[in-house]
Amino acid sequence: MSEKCRLPAEWEPQDAVLLTWPHALGDWADIARVEAVFLAIADAVCNHQRLLIACADPAQRKHIMQALIDQGTDPQQCHCLLAASNDSWVRDHGPITLYENGRAKLCDFTFNGWGKYPADLDNALSRQLYHQQAFGQTALTSVALTFEGGNLDSDGAGTVLVGQRCLFHKSRNPELNKTEIRNRLCQTLGIDRLLEIRQGQISGDDTDGHIDMLARFCDPQTIVHSTCKETDDADYQPLLALKSELQQLRTTSGQPYILRALPAPEKHFDSRGQRLPASYANFLIINGAVLVPQYNDPADQPALELLASCFPGRQMIAIDCRALIEQFGSLHCVTMQLPAGTLPSLMVKNS
C-alpha cells in the first residue's frame, strides 16, 4: 500500500455521518414511515458524533430540524445544507474519504443510479455540498469512474472487499476492461489488495451485488458474512458458496480470516409479493457504537448479539429498517461516514 494514500476502515474515528433526507419527489411510497427511520438514525448518530444532512429545500430543512428537536435530538450536532437529490442512497452517491499524506481527501466517483434509475441530481450532490463549504478546506476530487461506496469495504490497511459482479457490470464502465477498472480504483484509493468476491446473493438487492449486503470487515482479521438457512431458498447455494470463497481468502500474513456467520432473517416480501433484501451485514459503524438493521424478525436479537461480540466495547443500537427494505436497500445504504479530519472543527449553526 502506498505510504501517501490510505483508505480508512469504517471503525476508525469519524467526524460525522452524512444523510440525504428522503423527499416526496423520490421513490419512497410512504415518506412518514421512512422519515421515522431517518430520525432514529439521526438521533443515534448525534449521541456519538455530528450529523450532516442534505435536504431538498428550505421548507424541508426547517421541518427536519423541528422533528429532530421534537424527539430530543441535540440540534447543535446537526448541520443541514440544501442539495437537490433524486433519492436517499447516500452510500452510493456520497463522497468516499481517503487519507493522502495524512490529510483527508474526498473522492467523488460517478454515480449513474446503478444503470437503472435517474441519478443526475445524486451525482452532483457531493459537489453541491462542497461548494457550500460543508467539508471546510478538505479537497474534493472528481473521479472518472462509475463506482458506488456500497460495493467497498476496507480493513484500513490496504485490503478491500468488493463484489466482482457489480464492479465489472456492463452498466457501470462499459468503455473499460477489467484491468483498467481495477487499476483506476486501486490507484485512486490507495488499495494494495483488491479481494474480488464472486459469490453471494441477497434476493431483492437491485445493486448487482454490493458487498455491504454480503460480507464486511470487523477488524483486519475478521469478516462477518450473510447466510441462508432454508435449503430451498434461492439464496442458499449462493451464500453457501460465499462462505466457501471467504474461507479461501488469506490475510496479508498468510492466515485464514476469522469468519463469523450472521444469522439468516426470514424471507420478507412487499405488498406485491416481491422479495425484499433483509441483510444484517448492512450495519453502520460509528464512534463508540454500531447501528444494526432490524426487521421485526426472530433473527434480530441473535444478529445484535453476534455483532456485539465482533465489536467489543461498542454500543449496539437497533434500527427498525423495514421501511428501507421496501425500496430495496437498508441501513448502511442510506448513510455515509465522514472520517476524522473531513469536516471543519466548527460547523456553521443552522439558520
Predicted pLDDT of residue 25? 82
Handedness of CA 158, 164, 166, 167 (dihedral sign): positive
Predicted pLDDT of residue 325? 96
Phi, psi of 65 (to 5 degrees): -65, -40
Range list of β-strands (E), 174-288: 193-197, 215-219, 222-225, 258-261, 268-269, 275-276, 284-286
CB 39 within 8 Å of CB 66: no
Predicted pLDDT of residue 347? 52
- Of 293, 292, 297, 294, give the one whose Cα is nearest residue 308: 292
All cell numbers assigned to 234: 434461492
CA–CA dist 145, 80 (Å, integer): 28
State pTM to two decimals: 0.96
Written as one letter, the residue type at 125 is L
* Beta-strand pair 222-225/258-261: parallel
CA–CA dist 153, 141 (Å, integer): 20
- Of 258, 261, 255, give the one whose Cα is nearest residue 281: 261
Residue 158's H or E segment, with its range, is none
Give the length of the chain. 351
* Beta-strand pair 96-100/289-294: unpaired
Going from the first residue of the chain to its last (351 residues), give the mean pLDDT of each consecutive group of 10, the final group possibly shorter: 79 98 87 96 98 96 96 95 96 97 96 96 98 94 97 97 98 97 97 98 95 98 97 97 98 97 96 95 98 98 98 98 96 98 65 32
Residue 151's H or E segment, with its range, is none
Enumerate the β-bridge partners of residue 256: 250
- Scanning 71-116, the segments in alpha helix (DSSP H) are 90-93
CA–CA dist 191, 338 (Å, integer): 19
* Domain spans of the chain, in order of start: 5-339
Residue 19's H or E segment, with its range, is strand 14-20
Question: 136's torsion region: left (phi>0), alpha (psi -120 to 50) or beta?
Answer: left
Domain 5-339, CATH among 3.90.1150.10, 3.75.10.10, 3.30.9.10, 2.60.40.10: 3.75.10.10
- Residue 244: CB atoms within 10 A of its CB come to 10
CA–CA dist 277, 203 (Å, integer): 6
